[in-house]
A and B are shown apart, each in its own frame.
Chain A
């Protein structure tokens, strides 16, 4: 907690400059981005989450006014085949982190409710089991961004 507090004190003035960094109760989210795909095709949301609390946290999903449905998914590669399946929740141990990234865990963001452009920022609320939801600004990036 002390580390998180010190981090907040020193980084506080910088936070306004870092819209993709969210800090709440020791949960840090960084590099939050939505890889935009054209038309009505679903996009993927990626971010890094660090659990700086002393308790395990369980990420259960996300919501946003910008998309009708958001699901936590995982891509798998096995025997040259790619597949994707829904993940009910992700538990992150105290002091540990998880990275949602291309080819692994991601938010599948379906049925965009309004046009978005690369460079836009979209508020997305991450939901947790038994603790407050965490609003995070996601940056809209190109379909070719990694």
Chain B
């Protein structure tokens, strides 16, 4: 009920504004999440903020490279969605892979990792405080497990993909149970919309 009471004025506002809004097939977060903002470190070890990436529709995902299954699977699914875009539009999208495991994920490791998926994939990490600022902002959590005898530890992390417009405004959130066709469709809408049509 709370959600409905909240949504109706939001929808009315959208109609009145004449922009219509998008009918995302995944979860609409345009009214539920803050605009994209962060202070992190890039693949060259330099401090960066959202301003360094603003202008392109952006997908954001939290993970770590010592994640052999879920993270590459998510990135591979995004890569397949990107390949379905009009070739002229593929470079108009960026995927920010934010590692929550800066101890193992040095900038060099992140760069090698994201390069394996394509030019749209960019690795970011930072200090724990910097990472926590981003995860808190998007209301997700992560935990680092205890190291085993080989020093390996597991990381529990959000598996959602957050999508933002080129100006950083939130658009949609894709989760693992969303059909790949819905995610591909929404990515396509996001990129086309940024082209003005």
B69-A144 in contact (CB<8A): no
At the interface, yes or no: B160 with Cβ under 8 Å from chain A?
yes
A38-B115 in contact (CB<8A): yes
B69-A106 in contact (CB<8A): yes
Given A81-B159, A144-B80 in contact, is the A42-B109 Cβ separation under 8 Å? no
Which of A4-12, A15-23, A82-90, A119-127 forms contacts with chain B?
Answer: A82-90
At the interface, yes or no: A114 with Cβ under 8 Å from chain B?
no
A84-B70 in contact (CB<8A): yes
At the interface, yes or no: A77 with Cβ under 8 Å from chain B?
yes
Query: B193: which A residues are within 8 A, CB to CB?
Result: none
At the interface, yes or no: B158 with Cβ under 8 Å from chain A?
yes
Query: A144: which B residues are within 8 A, CB to CB?
Result: 72, 75-76, 79-80, 116-117
| CB of B181 to closest CB in A, whole Å | 15
| CB of B156 to closest CB in A, whole Å | 4
Query: A81: which B residues are within 8 A, CB to CB?
Result: 141, 156-159
> How many A-B contacts at CB < 8 Å in the complex?
95
Interface size class of B (residues with CB under 8 A): 20 to 34
A75-B79 in contact (CB<8A): no
At the interface, yes or no: B46 with Cβ under 8 Å from chain A?
no
Q: How far is the CA of A82 from the CA of B80 in the complex (A)?
A: 21
Query: A39: which B residues are within 8 A, CB to CB?
Result: 65, 109, 112-113
Q: How far is the CA of A39 from the CA of B79 in the complex (A)?
A: 20
Instruction: Write the A49-66 contact mask toward B (1 if CB under 8 angstroms, else 0).
Output: 000000000000000000
A109-B156 in contact (CB<8A): no
Query: B10: which A residues are within 8 A, CB to CB?
Result: none
At the interface, yes or no: A41 with Cβ under 8 Å from chain B?
yes
A82-B156, A106-B68, A143-B116 given; name 12 further pairs at CB < 8 Å.
A35-B68, A38-B116, A39-B113, A42-B66, A73-B69, A82-B176, A83-B154, A102-B72, A103-B70, A143-B76, A144-B80, A144-B117
13 A–B contacts, CB within 8 A, in A order? A37-B68, A37-B113, A39-B113, A40-B109, A44-B68, A44-B72, A80-B158, A80-B160, A83-B154, A86-B148, A144-B79, A144-B80, A146-B73
Of all A-B residue pairs in the complex, the 3 with the closest CB atoms, nearest first, are A82-B159, A44-B68, A83-B156
